[in-house]
Amino acid sequence: ADPVYDDSDEELVERAPVVTIMGHVDHGKTSLLDAIRDTEVTAGEAGGITQHIGAYQVHHDDRTVTFLDTPGHEAFTAMRARGAKVTDIAVIVVAADDGVKPQTQEAVDHAKAAKVPILVAVNKIDKEGAQPDRVRTEMTRLGLQPVEWGGETEFVDVSAKTKRGLDNLLDTILVMSEVEELRANPGAEASGVIVESKLDPGRGAVATVLIQRGTLHVGDALFAGPHWGKVRAMNDFLGQRVKRALPGEPVEILGFDTVPEAGESVRVVENDRKARQLAGERANRLKTEARARRSGKRISLEDIFKSDLQELNLVLKADVAGSLEAIEDEIAKLPQDEISVNVVHRGVGGVNESDVMLGAASDGVVLAFNVRPIGDAARVADREGVEIRSYSVIYRAIEELRAAMEGMLEPEEVEDQIATIEVRAIFRASRIGVIAGSYVTDGRVTRGARVRLVRDGTVVYDGEIASLKRFNEDVREVAAGFECGIVLRDFADVKEGDVLEAYTTRKVERELA
């Protein structure tokens, strides 16, 4: 939850709203950020400006707006997952000639999960074939009805190319931020959030901090999670040296001992000693948490039902759209008087980082149907303590949900990975069928093991080893470093280059309060 301060009314001063631009790739996020910066900032500057950090401020109608240049909504939600509310308004860009696309939907879901008000910028209206009304219709289907159609969401038509509509966009941002009553106490000790960071060979750890409360000064001691430092120097987004930074301002600071992660909260404390001590305590806590996670204790479906949770948030991923619909239909049928079940995001394809971060931000669970984690998703899930539950049949997932909701979970079937096998050649034998000439790269495969075949994040086979042979002899097991012939039960589509994951299952009693 966002921290609550007991600042008195007189101490509070209006601060700049912080805006993030999100949307589908190529719909014009970068162009729009550039266009706003160029028209609004350059007005008073001599010549063009070079933006030095991933954030900038513009002045419009005597007010200031801060734009964050986050690399994607994963980062946006990563910040949210760490408890930092960074953005006040999310601008979702939709290209008028392309309409709503999968990442538009993702962006909307991320903004909704973070409870950030949404403004829709319908971009590229200069283009032939632009259909701003079609965008409005499609967004209405996502639950965002335009104000001009009697709904509650502001839509602004813009062109990053011709710069049409930018004034209107900024006006609308300011109107929306007035409703939010964004105020902060500049007299307090500074706190904020890291929005980006890097290690600079010449300058050491460099971090961009968005100040959210108080005023940050050169010389202040501060800590961010397990990192601490003393502000040695500060630059504004134009790269100019500054001595202090106010709420709503992004600044680049030098002086951290190590590189803090984006999304980490920053706080000024009375001196270096205190900063180092708090960072040390935080480092220890992180170690304990990591150890607890490794030993299998993490947020899971069971934990969620054990707590007094009123709602369960789910991210659903499946191999085909039909399965998603079927799952949602089944979820809708569950009795939800005690706990309500919300689907915060749904999508077709492997579980990606964005899905995991949405799970983290909403304290939810990812349910994966016939799909597996792809890219960095498994590692991120581990780090964020998000559970990814995999199923191959829908009814099993629904049964588990129902059982968990009724507090009567059956013993859980857990998987133990036992081997990784590479298929190196395919042989066909008349009576036996397709034999995968394989090499065990890791672990030890046994005859009764189960095997899963994943291609591009999709599970194409999940079944049993029907036969395991070495040099035409049946064997009980084959260890890493050895070749073997494998026949998969009821499956002939195995190909050279496939990687098989062998696993066994066992029942574990669930602990329920």
- Shortest CB 24 distance to ligand GDP, Å: 7
- Nearer to ligand GDP by Cβ, of 28 and 347: the residue is 28
What is the C-alpha to C-alpha distance for residues 417 and 445, in angstroms, rounded to an integer? Answer: 10
Work out whether 127 is an interface residue with ligand GDP (CB under 6 A): yes
What are φ and ψ of residue 16, in 5° steps? -70, 135
Instruction: For residue 38, state whether it binds ligand GDP (rule: CB under 6 A).
Output: no
Q: How far is the CB of 360 from ligand GDP (least distance, A)?
A: 24
CB of 120 to ligand GDP, least distance (A): 14
CB-nearer residue toward ligand GDP: 1 or 25: 25
Which residue from 7, 11, 38, 126 is in contact with ligand GDP, where contact means CB under 6 A?
126
Work out the angle at residue 109's Cα, subtended by the Cα atoms of residues 107 and 110, and round it to the nearest 5 degrees. Answer: 65
Name which of 54 and 359 has its Cβ closer to ligand GDP.
54
Which residues, 6 or more positions from 287, have their beta carbon under 8 angstroms from its beta carbon? Answer: none
* CB of 59 closer than 8 Å to CB of 40: yes
At closest approach, how far in Å is the CB of 116 from ligand GDP?
A: 19
User: How far from the centroid of its chain's Cα atoms is residue 346's Cα?
Assistant: 14
Q: Which region, judged by CB under 6 A, interacts with ligand GDP, from 25-33, 202-210, 229-237, 482-490?
A: 25-33
Which part of the chain contacts ligand GDP (CB under 6 A), choosing from 101-109, 154-162, 197-205, 491-499? 154-162
Cα(312)–Cα(401) distance, rounded to whole angstroms? 10
Q: Interacting stretch for ligand GDP, rule CB under 6 A, among 29-37, 202-210, 372-380, 409-417?
A: 29-37
User: Does residue 136 belong to the site contacting ligand GDP (CB under 6 A)?
Assistant: no
User: 12, 15, 29, 226: which one contacts ligand GDP (CB under 6 A)?
Assistant: 29
- 225: contact with ligand GDP by CB under 6 A: no
> DSSP secondary structure string, 218-287?
TT-EEEETTEEEEEEEEE-TTS-EESEE-TT-EEEEEEESS-PPTT-EEEEESSHHHHHHHHHHHHHHHH
Under rule CB under 6 A, residue 159 binds ligand GDP: yes
Binding range to ligand GDP, per CB under 6 A, among 26-34, 236-244, 447-455, 457-465:
26-34
Q: Which residue has the tokens 């949405």?
A: 358
Minimal distance, residue 505 CB to ligand GDP, in Å = 44
Work out whether 31 is an interface residue with ligand GDP (CB under 6 A). yes
Other Cβ atoms within 10 Å of 179 Cβ, number = 8
Q: Which residues contact 513 (CB under 8 A, 6 or more apart)?
A: 306
Size of the site for ligand GDP (CB under 6 A): 15
Contact positions with ligand GDP (CB under 6 A) in 347-376: none
Whole-number minimum distance, CB 349 to ligand GDP, in Å?
20
Cβ–Cβ contacts within 10 Å for residue 275, how many?
23
**The two three-digit tokens of residue 480, written as one number:** 């890493």
| Contact call for residue 26 and ligand GDP (CB under 6 A) | yes
Strand stretches in 75-185, DSSP E:
89-95, 118-123, 154-157, 183-184
- Residue numbers belonging to the annotated binding site for GTP: 23-30, 69-73, 123-126
Residue 511 burial (CB < 10 Å; 0-12/13-18/19+)? exposed
Question: Closest approach of Cβ 470 to ligand GDP, in Å?
Answer: 52
Rule CB under 6 A: which of 81-100 touch ligand GDP? none
CA-closest candidate to residue 117, choices 63, 180, 161: 180
Task: Using CB under 6 A, pick the residue from 15, 110, 124, 346 that binds ligand GDP.
Answer: 124
Give the separation between CA 142 and CA 73, rounded to whole angstroms: 17
Contact residue for ligand GDP among 12, 20, 28, 36 (CB under 6 A): 28
Smallest distance from the beta carbon of 63 to ligand GDP, in angstroms?
25
Q: Does 25 engage in binding with ligand GDP (CB under 6 A)?
A: yes
Annotated binding site: 23-30, 69-73, 123-126
Hey, is 374 helix, strand or coil? coil
Query: Does residue 160 belong to the site contacting ligand GDP (CB under 6 A)?
Result: yes
**Nearest distance, CB of residue 192 and ligand GDP, angstroms:** 26
Check binding of 331 to ligand GDP (CB under 6 A).
no
Q: Name the amino acid, one letter, at 214.
A: G
Q: From CA 437, how far away is CA 419, in angstroms rounded?
A: 15
Residues 6 or more apart whose Cβ sits within 8 Å of residue 285: none
Report whether 380 contacts 358 (CB < 8 A).
no
Query: Is the Cβ of residue 31 or residue 336 nearer to ligand GDP in the bound state?
Result: 31
Closest CA to 457 of 370, 339, 362: 370
Contacts with ligand GDP by CB under 6 A lie at 23, 25-31, 123-124, 126-127, 159-161
